[in-house]
Amino acid sequence: MTIKTGDKLPEATLVKVTENGPEQVNSADYFKGRKVALFSVPGAFTPTCSAKHLPGFVDKADELKAKGIDEIACTAVNDAFVMGAWGKGAHADGITMLADGNGDFAEAVGLTMDGKAFGMGTRGQRYSMVVNDGVVEQLNVEAPGEFKVSSADHMLEQL
């Protein structure tokens, strides 16, 4: 079942990229007590994700935080080392890169996509959400091949 506005995020283990290496993160603990702008991309280093999605949140980080966002996080069905390298290469210092290597989080929120035709296997869909104390306040899921409603600009308009 796909998560919707008003739902509590399900528990899953993600991996946070840190200076000291990968660190496991329980989603319930991570989102507790703060307002997080979370966005999901089908894959690190992929064209739209690298050219528009991640850079948009990097560029708009201060504006999002000025509107009450405590943290901005990016997730993808990639391993922590790939997410770390992508974040570093994109100068995404203000973005927490959360690896969902096995796709457990994407599956738990019901937002997977079949990328097998492109050699990518099962991935997370492109979306953004505002999570307040573990509860989804906004959810913006893109139609296949689109990049509109999951952007940082769209999120800013909603806040």
Cβ–Cβ < 8 Å for 130, 138: yes
Extended strands (E) in the chain? 13-18, 21-26, 35-40, 71-76, 95-99, 112-114, 122-124, 127-132, 135-141
Active site residue 74: no
How far apart are alpha carbons 150 and 38 in whole angstroms? 10
Q: For residue 68, give both structure tokens.
A: 């009450």
Q: Which residues pair with 138 in a beta bridge?
A: 130
**Other Cβ atoms within 10 Å of 144 Cβ, number:** 8
Give the angle subtended at the CA of 1 by the CAs of 144 and 64, to the nearest 5°: 60
Catalytic residue among 49, 64, 76, 152: 49
Enumerate the active-site residues: 49
